[in-house]
Amino acid sequence: MIEKTDVIIIGAGPVGLFSIFELGLLNISCHVIDNLDRPGGQCAELYPEKPIYDIPSRITITGQELTDDLLAQVKPFKPVFHLGQQVDKITKLDSNDWIVETSMNKSIQARCIVIAAGAGSFVPRKIPLKNIGYLEEKNIIYAVRNKSLLEGKELLIVGGGDSALDWTIELSKIAKVTLMHRRKEFKAAPDSVCKMLELENEKKINFLIGQIDNIEDLNNGKIKVITKNDEKNIELEVDFLLPFFGLKMEIGPIANWGLKLDKNLIKVDTEKFETSEPSIFAIGDINTYPGKLKLILSGFHEAALMAQGCFKYCFPDKKNIFRYTTSSKDLQKKLTSI
Ligand SMILES: Cc1cc2nc3c(=O)[nH]c(=O)nc-3n(C[C@H](O)[C@H](O)[C@H](O)COP(=O)(O)OP(=O)(O)OC[C@H]3O[C@@H](n4cnc5c(N)ncnc54)[C@H](O)[C@@H]3O)c2cc1C
């Protein structure tokens, strides 16, 4: 079934989130899609604990606090989030509406698309071995979406950061887990490191120092992972391999949508931040124009003007009357109706 809305926002980073607010003030509904499994984009993913000093009126605010506040601010507009999925394809209908399709086979129809995709999708760094692509989702899992699939199975988790340790602790409750990392120092929260070491002491998980050397398909549902360290090679037969090597950013499918680009950034006008394709807008780090500054506050300004541009497509017969939130009773009612 195709879901319908006025505007689809691609990217739930700070700029995508603030767009919900600016669109909402103009009675424009929206769905937001992000490849990550939580909102916040770079702020939540790359620097949740770091203070930001140049958000107007906030002397200091961390990446995660900014995300939480933006989510609270947009709550009155009841946005619909589709997380953990990438927008792969967009198609224009004869009616000039757009259909957006995601990697989880979701289709959504809207009058306008707002691309707030930052530096692109966050995608996992993969195992640098050739010819193992066909094992992905079958035996190699880069993002755990369905824990029940792993229940009672033999798992090899690889990595030394928060994701590797958090999943080691969580999955040790339902599966037989081996954790492997290049060394016995970890880049994870100290609490998680203590908990993992406790589990190892209690023999509830195995811990190995090493790296993946090769992977063989055993053709019985399992794989053999050959690991190496300075001393020896070890062979492990497991149901699933879960590598957590961090995330990287890729422009991905957006590059194939026929929009005018300049060095992987989307060209826009500075009146509405519309792209070369009418009714597709691009705001935040993903766009380029003379004088562009990749700052959150620039993205917020772009969101306000983009919303004015979307209004013309969503309500072609209506006149948009500019109103302040301080003096419009109608807007105040909307904003306090949580
Ligand atoms: C370490 C660091 C410190 C920074 N400090 C500051 C600072 O002090 N002040 C400041 O103003 N700025 C700072 N920045 C920059 C700021 O974080 C960015 O300008 C801001 O995050 C851009 O917001 P955005 O919403 O445009 O994109 P992003 O935050 O990058 O979010 C884009 C989202 O789109 C998603 N996405 C992309 N493509 C797709 C797709 N095809 N399908 C589904 N989802 C998709 C991504 O997964 C991502 O979540 C800093 C950046 C870094 C890395």
User: Do both 158 and 237 map to the same domain?
Assistant: yes
Q: What is the dihedral of CA 254, 256, 261, 264, to 10 degrees?
A: 60
The answer to whether residue 108 scores a pLDDT higher than 80 is yes
Among 245, 261, 281, where does a domain finish? 245
User: Do both 85 and 184 map to the same domain?
Assistant: no
User: Do both 92 and 137 map to the same domain?
Assistant: no
How far is Cα 283 from Cα 163, in angstroms, rounded to an integer? 30
pLDDT 10s digits, 199-228: 999 999 999 999 999 999 999 999 999 998
How far is Cα 136 from Cα 174, in angstroms, rounded to an integer? 22
User: Do both 104 and 47 map to the same domain?
Assistant: yes
pLDDT 10s digits, 43-93: 998 888 899 999 999 999 999 999 999 999 999 999 999 999 999 999 999
Confidence at 183, pLDDT banded by 50, 70, 90: very high
Judge if the beta carbon of residue 334 lies within 6 A of ligand 1: no
The answer to whether residue 338 scores a pLDDT higher than 70 is no
User: Do both 49 and 60 map to the same domain?
Assistant: yes
Atom 51 (ligand 1) nearest CA: 42
Q: What percent of the chain has pLDDT over 90?
A: 82
Judge if the beta carbon of residue 42 lies within 6 A of ligand 1: yes
Judge if the beta carbon of residue 15 lies within 6 A of ligand 1: yes
- Atom from ligand 1 closest to the CA of residue 86: 42
How far is Cα 277 from Cα 289, in angstroms, rounded to an integer? 16
* Element holding 309 (H helix, E strand): helix 296-314
In eight-state DSSP terms, residue 32 is E
User: Do both 118 and 148 map to the same domain?
Assistant: no
Give me the pLDDT at residue 26, please.
Answer: 96
Q: Any residues with CB less than 8 A from the CB of 151 and at least 6 apart, and which?
A: 174, 175
| Residue owning tokens 């519309």 | 274
Centre of ligand 1 to C-alpha 12, Å, is 9
The CATH number of residue 260's host domain is 3.50.50.60
Q: Which of 195, 139, 145 is nearest to 166 (CA)?
A: 195
How far is Cα 110 from Cα 144, in angstroms, rounded to an integer? 30
Confidence at 102, pLDDT banded by 50, 70, 90: very high
Note down the domain range covering 75: 2-123+248-335
The answer to whether residue 317 scores a pLDDT higher than 60 is yes
In eight-state DSSP terms, residue 274 is B
Per DSSP, the three-state class of 74 is helix
How far is Cα 270 from Cα 266, in angstroms, rounded to an integer? 12
Q: Any residues with CB less than 8 A from the CB of 318 and at least 6 apart, and which?
A: 311
Centre of ligand 1 to C-alpha 277, Å, is 23
Judge if the beta carbon of residue 86 lies within 6 A of ligand 1: yes
User: Do both 64 and 9 map to the same domain?
Assistant: yes
User: Do both 44 and 137 map to the same domain?
Assistant: no
Using CA atoms, how far residue 259 sits from 54, 105, 268, 279, 280, in Å, is: 31, 23, 10, 12, 9
Enumerate the β-bridge partners of residue 77: none
User: Do both 40 and 139 map to the same domain?
Assistant: no
Mean pLDDT of 322-336: 88
Q: 334: which 2 tokens?
A: 């909307």
Judge if the beta carbon of residue 39 lies within 6 A of ligand 1: no
Among 245, 261, 288, where does a domain finish? 245
How far is Cα 236 from Cα 257, in angstroms, rounded to an integer? 43
User: Do both 241 and 318 map to the same domain?
Assistant: no
User: Do both 188 and 275 map to the same domain?
Assistant: no
Q: What is the dihedral of CA 241, 244, 248, 252, to 10 degrees?
A: 30
Centre of ligand 1 to C-alpha 244, Å, is 21
Give me the pLDDT at residue 323, please.
Answer: 87
In eight-state DSSP terms, residue 257 is S
- Atom from ligand 1 closest to the CA of residue 53: 8
Q: What percent of the chain has pLDDT over 70?
A: 99
User: Do both 228 and 137 map to the same domain?
Assistant: yes
Q: Do 254 and 287 form a contact (C-beta atoms < 8 A)?
A: no
Atom 6 (ligand 1) nearest CA: 52
The size of the chain, in residues, is 338
Give me the pLDDT at residue 221, please.
Answer: 95
Confidence at 97, pLDDT banded by 50, 70, 90: very high
Confidence at 145, pLDDT banded by 50, 70, 90: confident
Mean pLDDT of 117-128: 90
Centre of ligand 1 to C-alpha 107, Å, is 25
How far is Cα 141 from Cα 111, in angstroms, rounded to an integer? 36
How far is Cα 155 from Cα 153, in angstroms, rounded to an integer? 6
pLDDT 10s digits, 228-271: 887 788 999 999 999 999 888 888 899 999 999 999 899 999 99
- Annotate 155-202 with DSSP letters as a single string: EEEE-SBHHHHHHHHHHTTTSEEEEEESSS--BS-HHHHHHHHHHHHT
Q: 38: which 2 tokens?
A: 């939580």
Centre of ligand 1 to C-alpha 13, Å, is 5
* Number of domains the chain is built from: 2
Among 196, 217, 245, where does a domain finish? 245
How far is Cα 160 from Cα 70, in angstroms, rounded to an integer? 31
Burial of 263 (0-12, 13-18, 19+ CB in 10 A): exposed
Confidence at 146, pLDDT banded by 50, 70, 90: confident
Measured in degrees and rounded to the nearest 5, phi and psi for residue 330 equal -60, -45
